[in-house]
């Protein structure tokens, strides 16, 4: 029986969308198909700093931003309190035991034991941006080791990797986790995630009622521009040979 969550209408990422994503992924607008993107953007799209450096980098960035805002305020003849982001409170919210179960995953519904792996990766990316390396390492370790949620599921149950309902977007999002933590997406969680993303590229349009492939070149079971973009970013960021600057696959 088909899984209802995989039967949503898909949408192919436009050529313009691909170009924008590649521009940000490379930092130059001209990523090479055989070289890693340049490291000019301090974001998910550029190669990460080591986990040991992320906290200090985040603090330096926050202090620098607050200093600039204060100078701008004084230059205008005003003295105003600078209210920057409170990373301590924000991080505390993300890693609260009531939310981040055993430091490993967020639940779909509180008390269900059913992990929302997509939300878990969202939280991991936020922790990476905030420089919360210890908590980020816990999540990444749980995912890469094939950790199970309260009902015995691993991240593979969400991505569908190796199965008939493998989602290019979900696999790409997991690959991004490997990349932002400085690990190899070609050997993460027992899989070559980049090869799996490439294998999820559609070679023909699905015939209704099958909606896996809305267009040639889109990713299977990735029903939105955002979802398609995650798979694109994971390949471009890793310098995958399957990702080309014109957005086509060869």
- Mean pLDDT across 97-104: 95
Rounded CA-CA distance 231/74 in Å is 44
Rounded CA-CA distance 233/175 in Å is 10
Rounded alpha-carbon distances, angstroms, from residue 233 to 9, 37, 98, 110, 201: 21, 11, 31, 31, 14
Determine how many CB atoms are found less than 10 A away from the CB of residue 102. Answer: 11
Residue 155 φ/ψ region, left for φ over 0, alpha for ψ in the -120 to 50 degree band, beta for the rest: alpha
Determine how many CB atoms are found less than 10 A away from the CB of residue 229. Answer: 20
pLDDT digits (tens, 9 = 90+) for 17-71: 333 333 333 333 333 333 333 333 334 445 555 554 554 545 554 544 555 555 5
Domain map (residue ranges) of the chain? 4-56+83-237
Q: Which residues of 21-43 are buried (b: 16+ CB within 10 A; e: fewer)?
A: bbbbbbbeeebeeeeebeeeeee
The answer on pLDDT for 121 being more than 50 is yes
pLDDT band at residue 12 under the 50/70/90 scheme: very low
pLDDT digits (tens, 9 = 90+) for 191-218: 999 999 999 999 999 999 998 999 999 9
Q: pTM above 0.85?
A: no
Residue whose structure tokens are 């299977």: 220
- Mean pLDDT across 112-139: 94
Give the pLDDT of residue 195.
Answer: 94
The answer on pLDDT for 224 being more than 70 is yes
- Mean pLDDT across 166-179: 96
Coil, helix or strand at residue 107: strand
């Amino acid at each position: 029986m088909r899984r209802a969550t995989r039967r949503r209408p898909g949408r192919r990422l436009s050529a313009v969308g691909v170009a924008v994503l590649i521009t940000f992924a490379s930092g130059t607008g001209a990523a090479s198909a055989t070289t890693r993107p340049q490291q000019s953007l301090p974001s998910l799209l550029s190669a990460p700093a080591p986990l040991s450096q992320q906290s200090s980098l985040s603090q330096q960035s926050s202090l620098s931003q607050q200093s600039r805002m204060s100078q701008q305020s004084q230059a205008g003849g005003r003295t105003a309190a600078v209210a920057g982001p409170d990373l301590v409170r924000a991080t505390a919210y993300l890693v609260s035991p009531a939310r981040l179960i055993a430091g490993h995953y967020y639940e779909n519904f509180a008390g269900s034991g059913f992990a929302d792996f997509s939300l878990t990766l969202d939280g991991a990316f936020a922790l990476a941006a905030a420089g919360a390396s210890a908590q980020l390492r816990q999540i990444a370790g749980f995912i890469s080791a094939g950790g199970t949620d309260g009902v015995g599921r691993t991240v593979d149950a969400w991505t569908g990797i190796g199965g008939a309902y493998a989602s290019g977007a979900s696999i790409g999002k997991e690959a991004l986790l490997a990349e932002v933590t400085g690990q190899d997406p070609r050997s993460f969680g027992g899989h070559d995630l980049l090869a799996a993303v490439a294998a999820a590229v559609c070679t023909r349009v699905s015939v209704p009622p099958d909606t896996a492939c809305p267009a040639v070149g889109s990713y299977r079971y990735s029903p939105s521009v955002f979802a398609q973009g995650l798979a694109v970013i994971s390949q471009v960021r890793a310098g995958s040979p399957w990702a080309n600057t014109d957005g086509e696959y060869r």
